[in-house]
Amino acid sequence: MAEAHELNAISIMTEAPDFMSVRLNLRSNFAFNHLRAAIRAAQSALEVECANDITQHGAWFEDMMMHVPVAVVMASAALDANCNEIVQDILDGSPAAQLMQEANNLKGARSGKTIERYRTVARLLGKTPQEGPAWQNAGRLVSFRNAFMHFKPAWDTETNIHDDVWVMELRARLPISPGYQSNFMFPYGLMTYGCAKWAVEAARTFSAEFSLLVGVKDGLAGGEALS
């Protein structure tokens, strides 16, 4: 069963001597939907691994190349959208003029620097984050997403790609696909359920920690648990 989720709405009522009208304004939110898409992709990756002998490279790997990138990209998209929803919540709360101006500037900015946007939101709300493991994993998730979104082909000899710092950090934390354990290639070596699950949990953990820090509702709370 899908999780119930909140719909933002504002009702405006006007009255005149002979009639009354009501207008309902609805606000679009998509962060949680992005996370649900990431969860579904991770579940699909698990189903593929459970249904196949993953020690033997085969057609099943093509499905992993479809599901795992979706989990990574959509989990990162959930973080992006969640930050923007927090900014809109600030604006909807009729803030002081200076805060409204800065929040409006952040809303209009087209920067893809997700983690920097969260830092800015924390500053606007008078908080200074202690950037521990949750922040570091969120940064790796964004880097992974960017690598997929702006993918550049690389030969197996291009070690600057396959052994990049953030790639090595992921390799140290995530299960590597059996066919690429002895001769790792990015991103093939990370096409595992463990990687897809990590992407979802990285987004969830960061959102929970950030929401607690700044005192707002966690927009990524809920959703199905991953085994």
Average pLDDT (139-148) is: 97
Predicted local confidence at residue 5, as pLDDT: 56
Domain boundaries, the chain: 30-214
Residue 153 burial (10 A CB sphere; 0-12, 13-18, 19+) = exposed
Query: What pLDDT score was predicted for residue 22?
Result: 79
In whole angstroms, what is the distance from residue 171 CA to residue 181 CA? 10
Residue 219 CB coordination number (10 Å): 24
Block residue for tokens 């033997």:
56
Structure tokens at 96: 């002081």
Residue whose entry in the numeric block shows the structure tokens 């002998």? 53
Structure-token match 């919540």, residue found: 89
Least confident stretch, 10-19, 25-34, 51-60, 64-73: 10-19
Total Cβ atoms within 10 A of residue 126:
9
pLDDT value, residue 1: 44
Q: What is the pLDDT of residue 95?
A: 80
Residue 193 pLDDT more than 60? yes
Contacts of 61 (CB under 8 A, 6+ apart): 177, 179, 191
- What would the mean pLDDT of 207-227 be, rounded to a whole number? 95
Q: Which residues contact 103 (CB under 8 A, 6 or more apart)?
A: 87, 90, 91, 95, 124
Q: Read off the pLDDT of residues 99-141 as tens digits, 9 standing for 90 and up.
A: 888 888 888 887 679 999 999 999 999 999 999 999 999 999 9
Q: What are the pLDDT digits (tens) for 47-85?
A: 999 999 999 999 999 999 999 999 999 999 999 999 999
Question: Residue 27: its pLDDT value, please?
Answer: 84
pTM for this predicted structure: 0.89
Residue 129 is classified by DSSP as -
Mean pLDDT, range 213-226, rounded to an integer: 95
Task: Supply the pLDDT for residue 96.
Answer: 84
Q: Which residue has the tokens 């990162």?
A: 76
On whether the CB atoms of residues 9 and 26 are closer than 8 A, the answer is yes
